[in-house]
Structure 1
Amino acid sequence: MSIPNFTMRQLLEAGVHFGHMVRRWNPRMAPFIHSERDGIHIIDLQQTVPMLYAALAFLREVAAGGGRVLFVGTKRQAQRPVEEHALRCGQHYVNQRWLGGMLTNWKTISKSIDRLKQMEQRLEEDEGNLPKKEVLNLQRQRVKLLRSLGGIREMGGLPDAMVVVDTNHERIAVAEARSLGIPVVGVLDTNSDPVGIDYPIPGNDDATRAVILYCELAANAVLGGLEEEQKLAGVDVGASEEGGVGDTSLDVDDETTEADSEAPAAATAEVAAPVDSPDEVNSSGEAEAVTVNTGGEMAPEAAGSDGAMPEGAGSEGTEPEEAAPPESAVPETVVETEQ
């Protein structure tokens, strides 16, 4: 999967070009504003498209390198899309209140995550043996911790990139990421400050359809990176396996060639020799043919009373006299039944 494709029409239909009212603008966003209409700033989508593409390429690169991506959106219209698409691409999210120090004080946050896991384990194992009051207390604490830490409980460390829907609303998260050197992909409305955002995306950060589009494209970019990572790993493994199979095939071919060279002699040895003398016939008047298998052991095969070759021993139309072994091989294949 390559970088997700999107069109200008998709951005227009999602309302990405609508900014805030003119009186609420941030002058630092002036380079990204196209015009003003009915007291509302219109964002220049011709600048949004390449900047959005660059942000998606960065997320794909992070995911392809095995990095962790954190989706952040705690405002009402962003909570559900952030959680849904973060889970869809196997990444992490914060869609409730951002706890101060969630990144800069990760050591304490990780202890709270461990406490949450221990609490869930205790409720699962000892719920029937605990007093009802204690069970209710544990359940309340669990719900509270899940609301704040449920999306990062499996993150296992600081993220390698952070996607922020509204940089103004998530200014604490952006400040923590900047202090730790974590790259930030942020959606910037006309009232936002682009300073400190590594991969800015000028666009509407309030419209639900626009927020869903951002999250969907970001998740698709992450999935593309994960697919590339698995593909590269598969190629490496496949190359090593292919080399092993090639070596084995060479050995097999050598053995097959050697076996093919011995096949005519083995086939000749398996053909019953014609019975010409009475000494080679048993008391019942029937001939007993003895063949030599490839392992050097002798195995008797019942021949017909007329001394014909067993069915299927040679090709069609082949007579025993033509397939008979040389005279030097006859004494080794025929055993006299009467002394």
Structure 2
Amino acid sequence: MPQVTMRQMLEAGVHFGHQTRYWNPKMAPYIFGARGKIHIINLEATVPKFTDAMNYLSGLAQKRRTVLFVGTKRSARDAIGEEAQRCGMPYVNARWLGGMLTNFRTVKQSVARLKELEAAETDGTFDKLVKHEVLALRRERDKLEKSLGGIKDMKNLPDALFVIDIGHENIAVLEARKLGIPVVAVVDTNYDPTLVEYAIPGNDDAIRAVQLYARAAADAVLEGKAAAPIQARGDDSEFVELDAEGNPVASGRDEEGRKPARHAAPKKAAPKRPARPANVPPPGNDDKAGLERAEAEVAENEATDEDAAK
């Protein structure tokens, strides 16, 4: 987990809150006091919260989960976009479109349209169109790229959100809560920290503070990915089981990756009947011979009775 010291937070201005008249009472445990009309955040309370949040993001990355970086305010756009790209996570830094999570199916259709326009530009389709048609398609592509370019590779809903300023991104937080998606967010003194699962008490306006948060989140994701178990793939795109030392376990396949054919168990041979001697008649011959003798005796007796009657 990236180590961020209290001194680094002080130098970045993390401890500066909002004006005292705009404070939220639920932030009282994280407020050290006031200087003039500005609340001062207690960094001794911020550091453990920050550590827990970064550990959570690292654990998600280690499980190969997706974290959506969200920061559309002017002071957060560049930092969110750069750090999300550095750690390979999706991001939204231009404008949060209503329904980006709750109506994700429609958003995926817009992403498919964006990819279609990008493919048409690279495969020479635009060269076959007239100038005004090309300009219209490029304007459409630029508009989609600005709002959806950061999530065009996100195939499913994210497993968590990392948000800068929950007040400015209130729609994103509400959609995530509706879908049960955990939210890691920087919460200033004027907002309710109980609205998110992992609240980081701190300044959400200063550029240096936002850069500190985004850089630490990206580092946590990268460390989690580096600690993820290696999943080797065979030629058939199936996962290969690894032992405790990381060596592939024999899968019982041949050199070409084919599973050995299953052979049925050999059938037991039927016991052979003992050979019959040549001079022994087959079964049933004795009964047949006896029947013939009985018929002959009956015929002889009938003939004798007829002679006696004469």
TM over 0.5: yes
Farther off after superposition, 233-242 or 82-91 = 233-242
1:191 aligned to 2:197? no
Match of 1:85 among 77, 83, 86: 83
The CA distance in 2 between the partners of 1:140 and 1:31, in whole Å, is 49
Who is 2:159 aligned against? Answer: 160
Q: How does 1:54-93 map to 2 (within 5 A)?
A: 54-93=52-91
Contact 1:63–1:226 (CA<8 Å) still a contact in 2?
yes
RMSD between superposed Cα atoms in Å: 1.8
Given residue 236 of structure 1, which amino acid in structure 2 is its aligned partner? Answer: L
* 117 and 30 in structure 1: CA distance in 2 versus 1, 3 angstrom threshold: same
SS of the counterpart of 1:5?
A: coil
Given residue 16 of structure 2, which amino acid in structure 1 is its aligned partner? Answer: F
Write out per-residue CA displacement over residues 213-236 of structure 1, whole angstroms, 9 at most, x where no aligned residue: 000000000001100114587993
How many angstroms does 1:12 deviate by? 0.5
Given residue 200 of structure 1, which amino acid in structure 2 is its aligned partner? Answer: A
Who is 2:308 aligned against? Answer: none
Contact 1:123–1:138 (CA<8 Å) still a contact in 2?
no
Write out per-residue CA displacement over residues 82-104 of structure 1, whole angstroms, 9 at most, x where no aligned residue: 00000000001000110000000
Given residue 23 of structure 2, which amino acid in structure 1 is its aligned partner? Answer: W
Write out per-residue CA displacement over residues 86-137 of structure 1, whole angstroms, 9 at most, x where no aligned residue: 0000001000110000000000000000011111111222121111111000
Given residue 141 of structure 1, which amino acid in structure 2 is its aligned partner? Answer: E
Name structure 2 gaps, 5 residues minimum: 233-239, 251-310
Give the TM-score taking structure 1 as reference length.
0.69
Q: How does 1:146-295 map to 2 (within 5 A)?
A: 146-230=145-229, 236=242, 239=245, 241=247
Q: Taking every aligned residue pair, what percent have the same amino acid on both sides?
A: 53
Who is 1:114 aligned against? Answer: 112
Who is 1:323 aligned against? Answer: none
Aligned residue pair count: 242
Given residue 162 of structure 2, which amino acid in structure 1 is its aligned partner? Answer: V
How many angstroms does 1:195 deviate by? 2.2
Who is 2:141 aligned against? Answer: 142
* 237 and 117 in structure 1: CA distance in 2 versus 1, 3 angstrom threshold: farther
Write out per-residue CA displacement over residues 280-338 of structure 1, whole angstroms, 9 at most, x where no aligned residue: xxxxxxxxxxxxxxxxxxxxxxxxxxxxxxxxxxxxxxxxxxxxxxxxxxxxxxxxxxx
Given residue 242 of structure 2, which amino acid in structure 1 is its aligned partner? Answer: D
Who is 1:30 aligned against? Answer: 28
Contact 2:101–2:176 (CA<8 Å) still a contact in 1?
yes
Contact 2:241–2:248 (CA<8 Å) still a contact in 1?
no
Report 1 or 2 for greater relative contact order, CA contacts < 8 Å, sequence distance ≥ 6: 2
How many angstroms does 1:23 deviate by? 1.1
SS of the counterpart of 2:242?
A: helix
Who is 1:295 aligned against? Answer: none
Name structure 1 gaps, 5 residues minimum: 245-339
The CA distance in 2 between the partners of 1:11 and 1:176, in whole Å, is 30
SS of the counterpart of 1:191?
A: coil
Write out per-residue CA displacement over residues 126-161 of structure 1, whole angstroms, 9 at most, x where no aligned residue: 121111111000000000000100000001110001
* 131 and 237 in structure 1: CA distance in 2 versus 1, 3 angstrom threshold: farther
Given residue 21 of structure 1, which amino acid in structure 2 is its aligned partner? Answer: Q
Who is 1:129 aligned against? Answer: 128
Contact 1:123–1:135 (CA<8 Å) still a contact in 2?
no
How many angstroms does 1:239 deviate by? 4.0
How many angstroms does 1:30 deviate by? 1.2
* 235 and 217 in structure 1: CA distance in 2 versus 1, 3 angstrom threshold: farther
* 140 and 237 in structure 1: CA distance in 2 versus 1, 3 angstrom threshold: farther
Farther off after superposition, 152-161 or 225-234 = 225-234
Write out per-residue CA displacement over residues 254-285 of structure 1, whole angstroms, 9 at most, x where no aligned residue: xxxxxxxxxxxxxxxxxxxxxxxxxxxxxxxx
